[in-house]
Structures are given as C-alpha cells and as structure tokens.
Amino acid sequence: MAAKAKPIPSVWARQSRETDQPALSRAAIVREAVAMLDADGVEALSMRKLGARLNAGATSLYRHVATKDELMELAVDEVFGEIAVPAADSPDWRAATTEAAGSFRATALRHRWLASVLGQAGLAYLGPNLMAFSERLAALFAGAGFPEPERAIDTVLSYVIGMSTTEAAWLTTVARSGRSEADFIAQLMPAAQQAAADHAHLAESYAAPQAVDPAGLRDGKFTYGLDVVLDGLALRRGPDAR
C-alpha cells in the first residue's frame, strides 16, 4: 500500500481556514506579527506571545495559521507589499531598477528582520505580494531588453539583500546601544583603531576623519555598489535594447 503523501509545509499550499470571527482574521494576525517582529526581532516571536497580544488562545490562532513557519511566510509576503517597482514601460531601465532597489532597501531597513529570514521563509515566494513583486521586476527587465530577465533579477536582488542584511544588522546593534549612530561610531572608533593597528590599509582607513553623516555614508556605499552591478548588467542586454 502506497504511503500517504505528506502535505507541503507552506501556508500557500493549503486552503485557508478563515472563520467568521472578524476580530481575529488572518490579516489581523499577520499585522500584529509584523509589529512584534519590528519591535523585538524573530527570536521574540512565538505563537503563544502573539496570541496573548491578540487576546486569543492558541486554538484560535491555529484556525488561521498552522505553525510559526507559516506565520513567517505570511509576514514576509506582507512587507513585500510595501516595495515599489516602476512600470515595465519606464523610459530608463537603470533609473527604474535603482528606484526598485532603493524601495527594497528602505523596506528591509524598516523591517530589519526581513533580509535575514528570506532564505528560511519556506515557500514565501508563492505569496501574492511576492509574486506581484517578481512579476513587475520580470516585466521591467524583459522590457529593457535582457534576454534572460530572471538572471538579471537574481543579480540585483543578491546585491540588495546582501547589503540590506549587513546594514540592518548594524542598525539593530546601534539601536540596542541606546545611542545615535554618530555617537555609537565615535565611542567604537578607539577600539576599531586599536584592532586595525597591525593592518596597514585598515589602519589608514580608520585613521581618516570619520563622516559626520553615517546615514549619508551608508547611502553612498549602497549607491556605489548598485551602480557597479548595473554597469555590468548593461553589457548583457540584447543588441536591440532601448
């Protein structure tokens, strides 16, 4: 006798079990989960704590979301709805891609848990917001004349996610210190200079006067790297690309 097939462990692979409880809809659960993730991070989120915040028991939650993994899929898809991607007929593909990349980065910095969980969020890419995001990017790159739009998309997203993950982790560390970013850097600098003392190139870098605008410095690093990525991608466009 053939073994019974196990269900696919994803919220997007099963039918919703919405009930007639308007005060505890799936949308309300996801909104509260995102708020908890924003405030305290992934480690602090649990079904028990979420139920307490919603004044609902675990049984009520499980009518809508079967596991914490499903909850994370839903939370990821929820925040992807905030990312703006210009229309496929944008006259300048570089400007449009830069806008989309900047929107992704801004979203990842508002929700600092996002970039770090993308590789662990199961089948989150099947969610409606993430599907729409991917479709808009595919249309943009196809319209720009890339013969393999998905490869161009992967290249841009790998850069944006990598930079956003590092930047979000840094800003989380700063926030936990209770200091401004500029004050945190100023306090950290003596230890950094000491650690770099035996490394000529690093020592020179740390010895230079520090920027008074850390946010501006981060913006500049992101823009520089993105421009390098787009310079490389421009060489891969089709011969008749506009």
Report which of residues 156 and 65 the model is more confident about.
Answer: 156
Cα–Cα dist 165/173, whole Å: 12
Does 78 map to a domain? no
Half-sphere exposure of 225 (CA within 13 A, CB side): 18
| Position 150 in a domain | yes
Report how far residue 74's alpha carbon sits from residue 11's, in angstroms, rounded to the nearest whole number.
Answer: 8
| Same-domain status, 61 and 107 | no
Q: What is the pLDDT, as a whole number, of residue 206?
A: 83
What pLDDT was estimated at residue 122? 59
Compute the distance between CA of residue 212 and CA of residue 210 in angstroms, rounded to an integer: 6
Q: Are residues 21 and 115 in the same domain?
A: no
Q: Residues 106, 51: one domain? A: no
Is residue 15 within 8 A of residue 63, CB to CB? The reply is no
CATH number for the domain harbouring residue 58: 1.10.10.60
Do residues 101 and 58 both lie within one domain? no
pTM (2 d.p.): 0.86
pLDDT at site 125: 77
The answer on 136 and 218 residing in a single domain is yes
Number of domains in the chain: 2
Residues 140 and 228 in one domain: yes
User: In the chain, what percentage of residues exceed pLDDT 90?
Assistant: 61
**Domain match, 215 and 109 both:** yes
What gap in Å lies between CA 4 and CA 194, rounded to an integer?
A: 62
CATH code at position 98: 1.10.357.10
Model confidence pLDDT, tens digit, residues 135-148: 999 999 999 999 99
pLDDT for 158: 94
Tell me what percent of the chain is helix, strand and coil, each rounded to the nearest 5: 70, 0, 30
* Angstrom distance (rounded) from CA 36 to CA 29: 11
Structural domain includes residue 185: no
Do 119 and 31 sit in the same domain of this protein?
Answer: no
Q: Is residue 75 part of a domain?
A: no
Same-domain pairing of 28 and 114: no
Quick one: 222 and 169 in the same domain?
yes
Interval 109-121 mean pLDDT = 87
Which residues have C-beta within 8 Å of that of residue 135, sequence separation ≥ 6? Answer: none
Calculate the alpha carbon distances from 62 to 22, 36, 108, 140 in Å.
15, 18, 28, 39
Do residues 68 and 47 make contact, with C-beta atoms less than 8 angstroms apart?
yes
Domain presence at residue 119? yes
Q: Does 5 score more than 70 pLDDT?
A: no
- Structural domain harbouring 216: 93-178+211-234
Assigned domain for 200 exists: no
Q: Specify whether 168 is located in the same domain as 224.
A: yes
Within this chain, do residues 60 and 115 fall inside the same structural domain, yes or no? Answer: no
Average pLDDT (190-200) is 92
pLDDT greater than 60 at residue 29: yes
> What distance in Å separates the CA atoms of residue 100 and residue 103, rounded to the nearest whole number?
5
